[in-house]
Chain A
């Protein structure tokens, strides 16, 4: 991370306690302009609580959270101008259609005249709701409601978007479309903080992830950075035509290979180094005279990282 840049989102030793429950316990991280930050953790880990604090819906017990340098405690009004929040569950008004719903929030954010009309048109076009503008909200599908809520969050063109479980309950197509929309937002320079349980999708769209459990941030950084911090980056499988034990002994002499297991002709081990080293390793094994019939590596995914980092504890 480049330290000279000013973070757009900054959590500074954030705490939020509910009685004896430490929902958020000393969390600090920074998110920079244009980044998509994936906030992952099991249910009850403190993701929603910290997001609500950032959205100025709740106050921290201690510490502070800043958006564009404005404190959620001291300058909530400034934070609200710069931030769009999409909660995991949201209510809708009865007897209101999509256009009226977005129009109401555009007005609530102080947009007037052509600015309001333009924001309305752009948002509806972006979310694909323009064809449903006159449809009552109560008749929308879950996916369309999520789009509407995303539209509401971005109607005032905020620089920061906080999306709490936006993909929850969506079908695969709606998830893909939502992912594309978030990618476009990031491309447009928005800073996005997103929480989700669908880790494969987060891995694809996030520049940085933070793993939280029991209110504490266990790891933060790019997926690759976190993987490097783990015990293994990948699990390698080799089929050797002969001298499997010899290859195992040969690998043991090298420090970056671990958890070596022999299974007949197959040999499994964990690789602690960079991926490029695996190509070098294959070349060296062949040069050393081992008859390699098969070489494959399964790199750890965000799910593996998540499972390694978290312990599955709940408060």
Chain B
């Protein structure tokens, strides 16, 4: 290869040394950014779609300004026209932010996987997180451009009556956060499959989801800014604590989505579970932290506790249906990363992939939720919570936790049996669990229709939704025999499945550290189990 003696010049237009200097400075500064951000920004600046959308946002916001002033003149000079104009601008902004940008982020990554450019990217030294972050930050840069386009109009609303700077800032921040989370979800979904037909199906699903989010956001904007204004209790500390809670949960969800996306594009022999489990755990503690805060602040309100427990049950239930489908075998690379010390292993073992470890991880977290909930209720009982409420909340919380514990235990056994004959991956596992849950919900209905004995609560004990919704409406339900039956049978089932799963996963739970990094011919026989026999990527 010929050596270059002179430094390369950046191609610029002709000439002006000052422009050259700025160009060089910008180029040097860009080295501190994610390469994908630089590439996508370059692409976006030349993209027709971006130019058209940007121009449309600009023109529509101007038209709305003129139209709103026209229909409100001359009242606009003294009446509260600010909220109406703000809602209009936010609605204009919502379409690119809630539909266009998240869908562009989804397509950007999906297209890389379809066109084969992702393979070139994946063999570079960029790690999966950098790839996902690069795409996400590119989306954020586009959001900023749209915000800047509409900024003069938003500033104009501030000059009008009826709207304050905090509401404007709050609304813009929520819209921004929503757009970022939706973009991250788009990136996560883009990583689900490499197959073109799945990508097409996902594109349709994603666009429908974004349109639903868009319509919901429009409605929320209208309702919260024009109609229900009582939420704007900026002087009340609870408002800001609730805001902090919303943001902390949104951020934990955002990072979880990023970890999920990164895990899917991580090389197969690496530990793809650790990051996701760490983020799930962080989210778990975020929810628990807020649960404790609100329960101690309002000891007689069981709503916070029950909502948080329900959210945690849902989170761990969804996580579990995927974890139960993980491969039981660790790659030599992961085995090599297992620490030598037993103390370190106690922590890292939870983060290693595998259905047995995943199941135990979830059971531990659900157990943790149960203990914390009962502890909080116990403290509440000294703060004025009545004994009957204490008992009811304890029964309800424990019942809610039993459902994911039992279904995941049964699901894990089912997956373990099926995987003796078929290869079960995380998606098939999710489908199996879904049908299991559907069976648990539909079977009581079918039984009642067949027996024609009229409605009875007893058959419904396998239906978690029945328990959750009946329980939340209180009344005499939580003290009923059906709930007692749920608690007794659920406890027995949970312990039974737990013991069965301990037996199934005994080998998996104590992984052996790989010390031999050299190749042995015998490994040719051992290694096949570590690698999943997937579809031909060249087909």
Give the B-binding residues of A (Cβ under 8 A). 12-13, 15, 17-19, 21, 23, 26, 48-49, 52, 55-64, 71, 73-77, 80-81, 83, 85, 87, 89-96, 99-100, 104-105, 107-110, 112-114, 116-118, 120-122, 125-126, 133-134, 152, 154, 156, 184-185, 188
Contact = CB atoms under 8 A, between A and B. Distances in A.
Contacts of B270: 76
Given A62-B523, A75-B333, A90-B119, 4 more contacts: A18-B536, A19-B536, A61-B527, A107-B38
Most chain B beta-carbon neighbours within 10 Å: one of A12, A94, A107: A107
B4 A122 contact: yes
Given A49-B538, A90-B116, A113 B31 contact: yes
B116 A89 contact: yes
Most chain B beta-carbon neighbours within 10 Å: one of A71, A74, A113: A74
A93 B533 contact: no
A133 B39 contact: no
Give the interface size class of chain B. 35 or more
B122 interface: yes
B342 interface: no
5 contacts: A19-B533, A57-B122, A61-B533, A62-B525, A99-B11
Contacts of A55: 123
Contact of B535 (A18, A105, A108, A188): A18
B2 A13 contact: no
Contacts of A85: 120, 123
Contact of B126 (A15, A21, A108, A126): A108
Classify the interface of chain A: helix, strand, loop or mixed.
Answer: mixed
B269 A76 contact: yes
B336 interface: yes
B454 interface: no
A71 B527 CA distance: 14
Given A95-B47, A107-B38, A114-B7, A60 B123 contact: no
B7 A122 contact: no
A74 B115 contact: no
Most chain A beta-carbon neighbours within 10 Å: one of B7, B125, B534: B125
Given A21-B536, A94-B43, A107-B38, A61 B531 contact: yes
Interface string B247-288: 000000000000000000001111000000000000000000
Contacts of A104: 35, 38-39
A64 B119 contact: no
Please provide the 4 A-B residue pairs with the shortest distance between their CB atoms, ordered closest to farther.
Answer: A91-B115, A107-B35, A108-B124, A121-B8
B528 interface: yes
Most chain A beta-carbon neighbours within 10 Å: one of B46, B124, B531, B535: B124
A15 B1 CA distance: 35
A133 B10 CA distance: 11
B35 A17 contact: no
B537 interface: yes
Interface of B: 1-4, 7-8, 10-11, 28, 31, 35-36, 38-39, 42-43, 46-47, 112, 114-117, 119-126, 267-270, 331-333, 336, 517, 519, 521, 523-528, 531, 533-539
Given A48-B538, A62-B525, A117-B8, A152 B332 contact: no
A152 B123 contact: no
Given A48-B538, A107-B35, A107-B38, A74 B517 contact: yes
Nearest to A17: B533
Contacts of B116: 87, 89-91
Given A23-B536, A113-B28, A96 B39 contact: yes
Contacts of A113: 28, 31
Nearest to A16: B531
B125 A108 contact: yes
B211 to A, nearest CB: 25
Nearest to A80: B123
Contacts of B115: 91-92
Given A15-B524, A18-B536, A80 B43 contact: no
Contact of B120 (A60, A62, A105): A105
A117 B9 CA distance: 8
Contacts of B28: 113
B2 A56 contact: no
A298 B487 CA distance: 89
Contacts of B36: 108
B31 A107 contact: yes
Contact of A74 (B1, B123, B336, B521): B336
B524 A56 contact: no
A30 to B, nearest CB: 13
Contacts of B126: 108
Given A95-B46, A112-B31, A126-B2, A59 B120 contact: no
A37 B8 CA distance: 34
A21 B2 CA distance: 45
A71 B270 CA distance: 13
B123 A56 contact: yes
Given A19-B533, A73-B269, A96-B39, A13 B521 contact: yes
B117 A133 contact: no
B527 A95 contact: no
A205 B1 CA distance: 17
A81 B125 contact: yes
Nearest to B532: A59
